[in-house]
């Protein structure tokens, strides 16, 4: 396993290539696979632990959302966006330039966090509810439906159905 020391998150590399760098999207995909294959056992416990660690990271850096919502950050600068790639051991952002304009990763997190709550597997705490509200407000502020992000494939920024769909799925799950 490539679990990052001091967390429940999975590293980006394999074996000797493993680092403490984690991606939100990859960890949410892993969490979902653990959950869907073991809805009442250790898979669900692992999924909840991963999602909780991602939430902890986003809560620690909630100012990223606030700054964009409040107009204090340049939405077009990907380094001013909430970071979707970070140090899983320390929960710190990485200084290395990266295109963090990846709305799909935020949508996937929003969707799975809400799905786990709707399924009775992860109670919605006040901090998590605040985070999800902040994420939704942020996504509306950047007009995710026409925001050119790098999306799932981390390509040239463009409006992508895969990013829009992930956010819409997350918003719909939140409504439940």
pLDDT of 42: 96
The answer to whether residue 57 scores a pLDDT higher than 70 is: yes
pLDDT tens readout for residues 82-100: 999 999 999 999 999 999 9
What's the distance, CA 138 to chain centroid? 13
The answer to whether residue 16 scores a pLDDT higher than 60 is: no
Nearest to 78 by CA among 7, 149, 133: 149
pLDDT of 154: 81
Please state, in angstroms and as integers, the Cα–Cα distance from residue 29 to each residue in 3, 50, 63, 65, 105, following that order: 14, 10, 25, 23, 10
pTM here is 0.95
Three-state DSSP state, 8: coil
């Amino acid at each position: 396993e490539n679990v990052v020391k001091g967390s429940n998150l999975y590293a980006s590399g394999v074996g000797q290539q493993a680092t403490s760098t984690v991606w939100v999207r990859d960890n949410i995909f892993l969490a979902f696979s653990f959950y869907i294959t073991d809805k009442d056992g250790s898979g669900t416990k692992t999924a909840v632990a991963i999602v909780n660690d991602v939430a902890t990271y986003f809560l620690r850096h909630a100012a990223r959302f606030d700054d964009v919502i409040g107009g204090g950050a340049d939405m077009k600068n990907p380094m001013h966006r909430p970071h979707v790639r970070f140090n899983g051991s320390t929960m710190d952002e990485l200084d290395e330039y990266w295109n963090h304009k990846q709305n799909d990763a935020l949508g996937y997190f929003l969707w799975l966090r809400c799905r786990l709550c709707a399924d009775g597997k992860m109670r919605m705490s006040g901090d998590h509810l605040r985070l999800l509200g902040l994420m939704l407000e942020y996504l509306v502020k950047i007009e995710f439906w026409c925001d050119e992000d790098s999306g799932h494939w981390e390509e040239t920024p463009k409006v992508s159905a895969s990013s829009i769909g992930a956010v819409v799925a997350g918003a719909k799950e939140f409504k439940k």
